[in-house]
């Protein structure tokens, strides 16, 4: 699963990480999907603001990235499980890669993802360490 980059004009919720929630069973999805995969018959989903706070469940250091991300290398790519339960893959920023560890509490930040050289810049979410331990966000343990 990947965070999908998007451009400014497509941006509805600039600083919010928005997924989908099933109207019937409350399953949460990210990447967003229009139809719940847990319900039979399928039910619709509605926008659902995610906390943006989660924990690293797996990570790796990327030394040889895809060409469009070459300027950022080396960087840490992690699987983050949000407190709502959904997992997503994201770059970890604002910290030394040696400090990244499994179980680390992180929060979503809004950052430039790619720049194509023709002025088109894509933005999306990355994650950084949550310095206060997440208590302000109600995310303990
Ligand atoms: Zn459902």
Q: Mark whether 79 and 115 lie in a shared domain.
A: yes
Q: Mark whether 56 and 25 lie in a shared domain.
A: no
- CA–centroid distance, residue 45 to ligand 1 (Å): 8
Q: What is the pLDDT of residue 37?
A: 93
User: CATH number, domain at 86?
Assistant: 2.40.50
Query: Is 73 a domain residue?
Result: yes
- CA–centroid distance, residue 21 to ligand 1 (Å): 8
- CA–centroid distance, residue 39 to ligand 1 (Å): 4
Query: Is 1 a domain residue?
Result: no
- CA–centroid distance, residue 50 to ligand 1 (Å): 17
Q: Which residues of the chain have pLDDT under 50?
A: 1-2, 8-9, 134, 136-141
Q: Mark whether 61 and 106 lie in a shared domain.
A: yes
Query: Is 137 a domain residue?
Result: no
Q: What is the pLDDT of residue 123?
A: 77
Q: What is the pLDDT of residue 125?
A: 87
When divided into structural domains, the chain yields a total of: 2
d(CA 23, CA 36): 9
Q: Mark whether 75 and 116 lie in a shared domain.
A: yes
Q: What is the pLDDT of residue 36?
A: 96
Query: Is 141 a domain residue?
Result: no
SS3 state of residue 71:
helix
Q: What is the pLDDT of residue 130?
A: 92
Whether 15 contacts 107, CB under 8 Å? no
Q: What is the pLDDT of residue 66?
A: 86
d(CA 30, CA 103): 20
Q: Mark whether 32 and 78 lie in a shared domain.
A: no
d(CA 33, CA 48): 11
Q: What is the pLDDT of residue 141?
A: 40
SS3 state of residue 62:
strand
For residue 17, the enclosing domain spans: 11-49
Q: What are phi and psi of 136, to 5 degrees?
A: -65, -25
- CA–centroid distance, residue 24 to ligand 1 (Å): 5
């Amino acid at each position: 699963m990947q965070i999908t980059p998007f451009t400014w004009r497509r941006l509805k919720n600039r600083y919010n990480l928005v997924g989908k929630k099933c109207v019937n069973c409350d399953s949460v999805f990210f990447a967003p999907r229009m139809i719940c995969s847990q319900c039979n018959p399928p039910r619709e989903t509605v926008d659902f603001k995610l906390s943006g706070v989660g924990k690293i469940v797996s990570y790796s250091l990327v030394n040889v990235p895809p060409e469009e991300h070459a300027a950022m290398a080396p960087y840490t790519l992690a699987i983050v499980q949000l407190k709502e339960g959904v997992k997503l893959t994201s770059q970890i920023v604002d910290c030394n890669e040696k400090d990244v560890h499994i179980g680390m509490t992180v929060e979503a930040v809004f950052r430039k993802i790619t720049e194509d050289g023709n002025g088109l810049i894509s933005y999306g979410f990355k994650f950084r360490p949550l310095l206060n331990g997440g208590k302000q966000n109600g995310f303990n343990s």
